[in-house]
Amino acid sequence: MSTLTLFQNATHWRTGERVTIAVEDGVVVPIPRRGHEHARVLDARGAVLAPGLVDLHVHLREPGQSAKETIDSGTRAAAAGGFTAVACMPNTVPAVDSPAWVEWVRHRTGNAAHARVYPIAAVTVGQKGGQLAPLMAMARAGAVAFSDDGHPVASAAMMRRALEYARPTGLPIVCHEEDPELRGEGVMNEGFTATRLGLRGIPGAAESVMCRRDVDLAELTGGRVHLAHLSTAQSFETLRDARRRGLPVTGETCPHYWILTDEAVGDYDTNAKMNPPLRTAEDVRACIAAIADGTVDCLVTDHAPHTPDEKNRPFSEAPFGVVGLETALALTITFLVEPGHVSLARAIELWTAAPRRIFDLPEVDLEPGSVADLVLFDPRSEWTVNPKLFYSKGRATPFAGWTVRGRVLATMMGGRFTHLAPDVEFEHQLVLPAGAAT
C-alpha cells in the first residue's frame, strides 16, 4: 500500500504562494479528491518548498580515499544540506578515466541512496595531461562531463584536442583554471597577508589567464567549456565577455568566494586553505556582482573533504580544500539573499534549475508528474555552524562558529526522505478510506 505525503501550507519557492504539495509513489501528484487511508501530513507553515538542490562540483573521494570521505558519507552530507543530486569529480585513486570506472561509480552510487550521483570523467589518462582519455566511451558509460579538476589541462594543444573530441558528446569540459608556472609553489593568494605570514602567493592571473585561454579555445573548436570555482574579478569579466559573444561557455563559483577574503587565513588557519585561494575584497565584490547580474550560471560548493590529521599540518603542507555541502544553503541565504544581492527565488534557481540545464540533468519541479526530489527549509531559522555535527567525514570549514540563517528541515529523493531535522513531526491521518466520497 503506497503512502501519501502532504506538505501542507508550504511557501512555493518561485511564486511565494502558500501551497499544499502531494507526493505518492515517488512523484508529485495532484491533491487527492478522495481520502487516503495511508497519509502522513507535514505542516510546513513558514517553510519554503523547492526542488532538491544540485551541486555540480563535489569530491566524494571514492575509489581510494575513503578515510577522507565515502560515497555514503558524502551523499548523507548532501542530503543534510538539501541536495538531492551531486556530480562527483574524478580525482580519486585511481582517477575515473575509463568507462569501467565510470560504471563502477554509477553502480556504487546506486547503492548509496542518499542523493543521486552523476560521475564526471577525467579529461586525460590519470589526470596527468599527457594522453587523452576515451571521452566518447565514457560518455556512453554515463559520464555527465569531463574534468581534470584538482589539476589544470596545462597544454593548450591538449585542451584543444579534448574540446574537439568532447564536442560530439555534447558534454562540457569543467576547467580547473590554474597556470602551473604562475602558481609555482604558492599556497595562498598573493598579497599583503601572504607577505605577512611569509607564505608563497598565488597571483590571480594564474586563474584568469587560463580562463581567457579556454574561452578562446571554446570559440576555436565549438566545444563546451564550464569554468570551475571562479574567484577573481578578471575571471568573472572573461566569463561575462564570453556570454556577450554567445560562446558555449558557462561558469560557477562557491560560497567562500562571495563571503571571505584572504585575511580569513588569519594566522595560518588551514580551514581557509582552498584552491583557488581566497582573494581580495575587490574580487569578493566582483563575485557578488557577477552572481547578481547573471554572469555566473550556477553555484557549487567544491566540497573537498580531507582528514583532520591532514588539515592539522603546517599551512604550507596541508592539502587544499574545505567542505561545503551542509552550509551552502544557509550561506546563500545569509550572504546573498538577506543583503538583497539576489532574490530567494533566483538563489534557489542557481542551485536547482540552472545546474540541471548545464549538465542536461532531468528537470524537477513541484508540478504533478515531476519526480519528488524536494527540499523543505526555513529561511529565517538561525543556527550555528558546528563541524562536529557534520555528516561529512571532512570537518574543515572557515565558517565554524558562525551564526547563519536558513535551515534544512527535510530532503526527499524519489519520494523517500533522505534527511529530516530532529524537530520535524508528521501527523498520520486516516483521511478517508480510498474510494470513499469526499
Residue 377 CB contacts under 8 Å (≥ 6 apart), including other chains:
47, 48, 50, 82, 329, 406, 407, 408, 409
Select from 72, 118, 124 the least CA-distant residue to 98. Answer: 124
* 90 and 333 Cβ atoms separated by less than 8 Å: no
Let me know: does 68 contact 39? Beta carbons within 8 Å. no
Residue whose grid cell is 582552498:
274
| CA separation for the pair 159, 214 (Å, rounded) | 8
Could you tell me which residues come within 8 angstroms of residue 183 by beta carbon, excluding any fewer than 6 positions away?
A: 202, 206
Please pick, among 55, 72, 302, 378, the residue that the annotation labels catalytic. 302
Cα separation, 336 vs 296, whole angstroms: 13
Q: Which residues lie closer than 8 Å to 165 by C-beta, 6 or more apart?
A: 132, 135, 136
Residue 302 catalytic?
yes
C-alpha cell at 74: 558524502
| H/E stretch holding 348 | helix 344-351
User: Which residues are part of the catalytic machinery?
Assistant: 302
